Amino acid sequence: MELWMIAIILFGSLLFFLFLGIPVSFALGGISIILGMIYWGGLPSLDGFVLGSYENVTQAILTAVPLYIFMAAVLMYSGLAEDLYEVIYRWFGGIRGGLAAGTSVIAAIFSSMVGVISASTAALGMVSRPSMLKRGYDDKLTLGVIMAGGTLGLLIPPSIVMIIYSSESGESAAALFMAGIVPGLFAAAIFIVYSLVLCFIKPEKGPKIDIEERFTWGEKLRSLRGVILPLVVIAIVLGSIYLGIATPTEAGAVGGVGALFAAGTKKQLNVENMKSIFLMTARLTGMVFWILIGAAAYARIVAVTGVGDGLAAMIAESDYNRWIVLILILVLFLIFGMFMDSVAVLLITAPFFLPLLTALDFDLIWFGVLFIITVCIGSLTPPVGLSLFIMKGVAPDISIGKIYSAVWPFVFLLVLMIVIVLIFPEVAMWLPSMMMD
């Protein structure tokens, strides 16, 4: 059978399972078992799936996944989002569009700590939107800033997706963390500039808060107390990785302990919160590892049929422009990102595209940044982007059509971010190269 036909069967049957509503992990594992039995014949062939899945989930780097999820859960339940918003409100509320721009700052900090689009968007929506609407901000701007900001946690480390990408690609997780910092902050800066310029041109979109509501310098400085320790925790995590003092896994353990200490100083660690923290950690970790188990079985089928390496060799030996191939891959990621979580998109496509990208001589760390930005766009893109429906859940009074129209400016801004990283790879590669030097 031709390689392209095998690829269509592998990909098409998986998509069919997913459209039936079967969870990603079971779709990956189920289609792998069915095709494996057809390919090899009989149940004895399943031994390879079991061993492959075991090897996949016992990689040392994946120990970091529950550690960073735990750290994120502690920080989230410690009231950090509320504290961050209070800081922004006191410091920037007097600027036209200041709360919208400040929400992007909060998003960059909070989303990077949480690292999960759904949790970030929901928390930002519940904290930021009511206050902005109360002060006369345009609801479309409010919705767009929150949804776009909620995606930044995939890009700004510590990022769970980057850890899993590291395990699939063999690239350094530390280098990937560093590669995401500048593009992530750049994206946040673009959102801030857009919000401020829009509110300058159209003052009714984001008015200043009333003079009587503004704060003294003493009140502004006191608002910083609630965010200093969490920010120190993140600085220690990233700083220890950058300086080579700790591996990402070790830094995650330190971050978890530091987050507990920071939450403890605020007296937020009651029994109910600790229960929620452990449940969130267990659920998200379980979800990730179930997908990893299914993905390992799927990757084995792709490997033994030779589809990934075969397609890579076929395209590498052809006269296709490698940049056109790269753009087509990103478009496919964009489409997948509309329907699926970033982890699922990565694990489904990695067996096909990582060999191809290697054959085309693309840097896999640089590509990892492009992949994450593209999946962020997918999660925001109508009609079925994940962030859109999370926002609808947070704001049930808003029509889905209004949410669609609110997000388009930020989709275009993230597309601009992809263009910048494509044209200027140094935006992503500067910090990793500094770390390696």
CA distance 318 to 54: 37
CB atoms within 10 A of CB 398: 17
Q: Is the dihedral of CA 323, 327, 333, 336 positive or negative?
A: negative
In angstroms, the Cα distances linking 392 to 100, 116, 408 are 19, 17, 16
204 exposure class (CB count in 10 Å sphere: 0-12, 13-18, 19+): exposed
Q: Are 121 and 390 in contact (CB under 8 A)?
A: yes
Q: pLDDT digit of tens for each residue in the chain (437 aa)?
A: 566 677 777 778 877 887 787 887 888 888 888 877 777 766 545 666 677 777 767 777 778 778 877 887 887 777 776 777 777 777 777 788 888 888 888 878 776 666 667 667 777 777 778 878 877 888 899 999 988 988 887 888 877 788 889 888 888 888 898 899 899 999 999 999 999 999 889 988 888 766 666 677 787 788 777 778 777 887 888 788 777 788 878 888 888 888 888 888 777 778 888 888 898 888 878 877 887 788 777 777 777 777 666 766 777 677 778 898 899 889 888 887 777 777 778 887 888 788 888 888 899 999 999 999 998 888 888 766 778 877 888 788 888 888 888 999 999 999 999 999 999 999 999 988 887 66
CA angle, corner 186, sides to 185 and 192, nearest 5?
90
CA distance 307 to 313: 10
Q: Are 141 and 198 in contact (CB under 8 A)?
A: yes
How far does Cα 391 stand from its chain's mean position? 16
pLDDT tens digits along 189-239: 999 999 999 988 998 888 876 666 667 778 778 877 777 877 788 788 878
